[in-house]
Amino acid sequence: MNWQNLQTKLAGKGYIASSELAMATHIALELERPILLEGDAGVGKTQIAKTLADIHNTELIRLQCYEGLDASAAIYEWNYQRQLLSIRAMAERTGDSGNAIDDIETRIFSADYLMERPLLRAIQQKKPPVLLIDEIDRADEEFEAYLLEILSDFQVTIPEMGTITAKSKPIVVLTSNGTRDLSDALRRRCIYNFVPYPDRTTELAILRARCPAVEPALAAQIVSFVQSLRKEDLEKKPGIAETLDWAAALGGLGVNDITVDPVALKSSLVCLLKTEADQAAIPSEVAQRLAGRAG
């Protein structure tokens, strides 16, 4: 398989990838390296992981990062309630003989009592799953360090049990919104791609693929409007997800031409402008001017 093939396959599942992204994904898949995607929110970073899982017909395991995320929430945790119960059960069965203690201890720290969290689960699968580590920049630096062992050797060390090596290497997709710079150590282990806002043609293709019900003329208007809206001075620029939402909203409102009904246009803009300041920055007149240019 070469990268153009992958691009076509992605397109077949409704994901229009730029050639750079397709190449990066191709190399990451072939070399079995994680891929790190950076870019603004709503440009389709998470979606590619879902699409990859779809193409390979495999499970998508998702780890959402947040500040304070630690090993027990991301890798594994012991099932304490079960451990407690079985200690008591075993103690009653064997009586209070001391030589059973070692036995009990090995028993309760075995795989039966281990609760797998996303990262451990990802390396335990028989068929390589897609592991999506979402918004890695939200986790703290110590967590990046945990990740290094998993991402380079695909293994997890549990002090009580030893090292668990991957049964199959998962396809790892990391995403980052760039709120914080990631460490060089992590970057170097990954294939990198910066996902920008799509250009006109790409966005039109995406809209066609995802919302085939939208009329071609309206689709062109929508894309031009959103493209020029991104050039305005906004706090949060609308991503592709927003464009798709807006297209669906316009469809729901029965709008066929965005220049006709200024009231409907203004009210549907809630799909694109997600902060109060942005809504104030694009009053009805500006919206109409942009729509006029788009139409």
Partner 1 sequence: MAVTRFLTRAGIAERMSDFTRHLRAHGVRAGMPETETSLGALQLVDAGDPNDVRLALKAICASDVESFARFDELFAAYWLNAGKQRHDHTPTQSRSDQKNSLTNLSQKFSAPPADGSGSIDTPDNDNDGEAESSGEGKLIATQVTNRNATDMREFILPEDEARAAETARRIATAIRYRRSRRRKTARQGDGLDMRRIMRKSVATGGEPLHLLRRRRPDRPVHLVSILDVSGSMQLYARVFLSFVKGLVGNDQRTDAFLFHTSLMCVSDALRDNDTLRAVNRLSMMARGFGGGTKIGASLRTFNNQYASRMTGRKTVVIIMSDGYDTGEAHEVGDALARLKRRGCKIIWLNPLLGWKDYAPVAASMAAALPHVDCFAPCNTLASLAAIEGELERL
CB closer to partner 1, 99 vs 252: 99
Q: How far is the CB of 98 from partner 1 (least distance, A)?
A: 9
Q: How far is the CB of 212 from partner 1 (least distance, A)?
A: 29
Give the DSSP letter string of 120-163.
HHHHH-SS--EEEEETGGGS-HHHHHHHHHHHHH-EEEETTTEE
∠ CA 267-269-271, rounded to 5°: 115
Stretch that binds partner 1, among 115-123, 180-188, 256-264, 283-291 (CB under 8 A): 180-188
Q: x-or-dash pattern for partner 1, window 56-75, by CB under 8 A?
A: -----------xx-x-----
Q: How far is the CB of 116 from partner 1 (least distance, A)?
A: 16
Stretch that binds partner 1, among 97-105, 119-127, 222-230, 258-266 (CB under 8 A): 97-105
Q: Count how many residues are written for the chain.
A: 295
Q: What's the sign of the alpha-carbon dihedral 225, 226, 231, 237?
A: positive
Distance between CA atoms of 86 and 107, rounded to whole angstroms?
Answer: 9
Question: Binders of partner 1: how many residues, by CB under 8 A?
Answer: 44
49 binds partner 1 (CB under 8 A): no
Integer distance in angstroms from the first to the last C-alpha of the chain?
41
80 binds partner 1 (CB under 8 A): yes
Distance between CA atoms of 229 and 237, rounded to whole angstroms?
Answer: 8
Binding to partner 1 (CB under 8 A) within 227-266 occurs at: none
Structure-token pair, residue 261: 């009904």
Stretch that binds partner 1, among 178-186, 217-225, 242-250, 277-285 (CB under 8 A): 178-186
Binding to partner 1 (CB under 8 A) within 109-148 occurs at: 140-142
3-state secondary structure 210-245: HCCCCCHHHHHHHHHHHHHHHHCCCCCCCCHHHHHH
Q: Which of 11, 55, 91, 166 binds partner 1 (CB under 8 A)?
A: 91
161 binds partner 1 (CB under 8 A): no
54 binds partner 1 (CB under 8 A): no
Stretch that binds partner 1, among 31-39, 46-54, 201-209, 235-243 (CB under 8 A): 31-39
Q: Which of 99, 162, 181, 212 binds partner 1 (CB under 8 A)?
A: 181
∠ CA 10-12-13, rounded to 5°: 70
Q: x-or-dash pattern for partner 1, window 7-26, by CB under 8 A?
A: ------------xx--xx-x
SS3 70: coil
Phi, psi dihedral angles at 276 (to 5 degrees): -65, -45
CB closer to partner 1, 81 vs 212: 81
Provide CB contacts within 8 A for 238, sequence distance 6+.
42, 226, 229, 230, 246, 272, 273, 274
The answer to whether 161 touches 75, Cβ cutoff 8 Å, is no
Distance between CA atoms of 162 and 247, rounded to whole angstroms?
Answer: 53
Q: How far is the CB of 204 from partner 1 (least distance, A)?
A: 23
Which residues make up the interface to partner 1 (CB under 8 A)? 2-3, 19-20, 23-24, 26-28, 30-31, 33, 38, 67-68, 70, 78, 80, 83-85, 87-88, 91, 96, 101, 104-105, 108, 140-142, 178-181, 184, 187-188, 190-194
